[in-house]
Structure formats: structure tokens, C-alpha cells
């Protein structure tokens, strides 16, 4: 009883600060694969929404797409954390991202009383991409080769008009990582990058990655090397030092782009921890890694988190 009241009073400052602000939430495959984790996220989003925070959810579904690919006799190929997408794999991506997982997320939110709307980047011209040309890729083992990622698009532009209609009315858009090029050809998009592009275009206050790791680690195998707080120049150094590997690489790159395009703060936290999101948002303590822009960094000491 007292606990609740104290909680409410402690949260007061934050609820004021966050009201009517936009938060972009990227759900990783680890969250999507666990009904409990997804339910846990849904209840947290419901709470944010009840505090008049405008939430947009982005998701991909790599592990699930790989699983279905295999079930259908297609060997998944991932290079530098990004999926090579043949036309057959694109069909799998449509089924898994826009079909199975998007419906699961929307339904989980609906169960907790949130009005969510499942979308892809194709809807209402939301995201326009161009097909990625074959690129030199150096993988985690330092080997470089030319890769044609196939039906994979890189984001050219975002048209937020549909979101501008949905967000102020209390609908939570749930965007899966598909988009189309200017000719209307459907393509797979990296969900981490997509989340950063949407956050930038919307002028989001926060971009939060709910992942399967405790945050950004200097040594991926040693949880004690968690980077709690980082400015862009720190990240540049980390990226050069090659200690950022696998799926964490696009996340870190996306965070860098996001803060450059005006997102105030980006977070990489563990989506499997109960209440991770609320703890990060409403307590001074936080968890995981917070990445801020240049100017933000300088004022960090004095401002509340």
C-alpha cells in the first residue's frame, strides 16, 4: 500500500517529463520468442501508454525466420549480423515478421488493454528503401568478401504521416521490418536500423533496444564489462576495436545514427529481465547501456536521467 504510493510519488517527476513524448521500442528475437517476456513487455507498454507516453514498437524476428526457413528447407545465411535474403527467404520473412510475430505482439498488447496497430514499412508509404548493392563485408573473424544481400533494403526516407495520425490518438504502432523501394518492391530491412530511422524521423525522445544481453559489453563474454554510459566518441572507439560483434554491431551503429539525428537518448537493455523497461525509465539506477549525443553528455551530470 505504502509501496504503491511511494512508487507513484517517486515516478511523478518522470511522468511529467515523459508525457506526450515518443519512445521507440525495438523488441529483439529473444523477447519475441518467449510468451512470458512478450507479456511482460506488453504490461510495461500498457503502463507507459496510461501515462500518456506515445510508444512505437519495432521488431524483426531473426531467430524465428531462421527456424521457419530451415523447416522449409532453406539454409539461413547471416553475414555481419544481417540476413542474406533470397526471394524465397523474403517470403519467409513476410510470413514470420508481418504474419506470426506482428500478430503476436499486437495481440499481447490488446490483451493488456492497449490499442495497437500492426504495420510494416510498406504501409502508407511509411519507409522507402533502395536495394542494397553488393558490399565488401568484414566479418567478426576479419575476413572480407563481397556479399549480395539479395532482397535487402537500406532506408532512404521515412514518411511519418500515418504515425502522426495514430500516435496522438493513443494507438501503439507495431512495425515489422519490411519496406518497399520507390517501385513498390518489397524488401527485408534490418530491424535495428529501422528502429533508429523511425526514432529519428519522429523526433523520439528515447530509442530503447530490448535485447537478449545485459547491454553493451566491452568483452561480450564477460558481463562485468558492461558499458553503463557512452557518448558517441566512446562508441566509435569500441567499434574500431572490434570488440562489438554479431547482432550488437548494427544496434550500436543504429544508436550512433539515432543520436546524430536528434534522438535524445538511446538504451540497450535486457528485455528478458522483468520490469527492465520501467526500471530504466523511472528510476535513477537504470540498467544496461545508455548512449547519449554530444551535447547531452555534457549536461548529464546535472540533469536527471
Q: What is the contact surface with its own copies in residues (CB under 8 A)?
A: 1-12, 15-16, 19, 43, 46-47, 50-52, 71-72, 91, 94-100, 102-104, 106-108, 110-113, 115-120, 122-125, 162, 165-166, 169, 171, 178, 180, 183-186, 275, 278-279, 282-283, 285
The SS3 call for residue 183 is: coil
Work out how close the CB of 5 gets to its own copies at its nearest, in angstroms, rounded to a whole number.
5
Q: Which of residues 173 and 247 has its CB atom nearest to its own copies in the complex?
A: 173
**Least gap, CB of 139 to its own copies (angstroms):** 30
| Other residues' Cβ atoms within 10 Å of the Cβ of residue 196 | 31
With H, G, I as helix, E, B as strand and everything else as coil, classify residue 127: strand
The DSSP secondary structure of 206-246, one letter per residue, reads EEEEEESSSS-BSSTT-GGGB--EE-HHHHHHHHHTT-S-T
Minimal distance, residue 292 CB to its own copies, in Å: 22
Nearer to its own copies, 114 or 259 (CB): 114
Find the shortest distance in angstroms from Cβ 75 to its own copies: 17
Decide if 227 contacts 267 (C-beta within 8 A).
Answer: no
Q: How far is the CB of 15 from its own copies (least distance, A)?
A: 4
Smaller CB separation from its own copies, 126 or 254: 126
Instruction: Give 165 or 237: the residue with its C-beta nearer to its own copies.
Output: 165
Cα 114 from Cα 212, distance rounded (Å): 24
Distance CA 177, CA 102 (A): 10
Nearer to its own copies, 2 or 299 (CB): 2
Between CA 81 and CA 267 the distance in angstroms is 19
Amino acid at each position: 500500500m505504502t509501496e504503491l504510493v511511494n512508487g507513484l510519488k517517486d515516478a511523478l517527476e518522470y511522468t511529467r517529463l515523459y508525457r506526450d513524448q515518443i519512445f521507440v521500442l525495438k523488441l529483439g528475437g529473444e523477447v519475441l520468442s518467449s510468451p512470458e517476456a512478450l507479456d511482460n513487455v506488453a504490461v510495461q507498454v500498457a503502463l507507459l501508454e496510461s501515462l500518456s507516453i506515445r510508444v512505437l514498437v519495432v521488431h524483426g524476428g531473426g531467430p524465428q525466420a531462421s527456424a521457419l526457413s530451415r523447416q522449409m528447407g532453406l539454409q539461413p545465411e547471416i553475414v555481419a549480423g544481417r540476413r542474406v535474403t533470397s526471394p524465397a527467404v523474403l517470403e519467409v520473412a513476410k510470413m514470420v515478421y508481418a504474419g506470426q510475430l506482428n500478430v503476436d505482439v499486437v495481440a499481447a498488447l490488446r490483451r493488456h488493454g492497449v490499442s495497437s496497430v500492426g504495420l510494416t514499412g510498406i504501409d502508407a508509404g511509411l519507409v522507402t528503401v533502395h536495394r542494397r548493392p553488393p558490399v565488401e563485408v568484414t566479418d567478426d573473424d576479419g575476413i572480407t568478401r563481397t556479399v549480395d544481400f539479395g532482397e535487402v533494403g537500406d532506408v532512404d526516407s521515412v514518411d511519418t504521416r500515418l504515425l502522426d495520425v495514430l500516435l496522438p490518438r493513443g494507438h501503439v504502432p507495431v512495425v515489422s521490418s519490411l519496406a518497399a523501394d520507390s517501385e513498390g518492391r518489397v524488401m527485408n530491412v534490418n530491424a535495428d536500423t529501422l528502429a533508429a530511422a523511425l526514432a529519428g524521423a519522429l523526433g523520439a525522445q528515447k530509442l530503447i533496444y530490448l535485447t537478449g544481453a545485459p547491454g553493451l559489453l566491452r568483452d561480450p563474454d564477460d558481463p562485468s564489462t558492461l558499458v553503463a554510459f557512452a557518448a558517441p566518441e566512446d562508441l566509435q572507439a569500441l567499434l574500431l576495436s572490434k570488440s562489438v560483434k554479431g547482432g550488437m554491431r548494427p544496434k550500436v551503429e543504429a544508436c550512433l545514427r539515432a543520436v546524430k539525428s536528434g534522438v535524445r537518448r538511446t538504451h540497450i537493455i535486457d528485455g528478458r529481465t522483468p520490469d527492465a523497461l520501467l526500471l530504466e525509465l523511472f528510476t535513477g539506477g537504470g540498467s544496461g547501456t545508455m548512449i547519449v549525443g554530444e551535447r547531452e553528455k555534457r549536461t548529464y551530470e546535472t540533469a536527471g536521467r
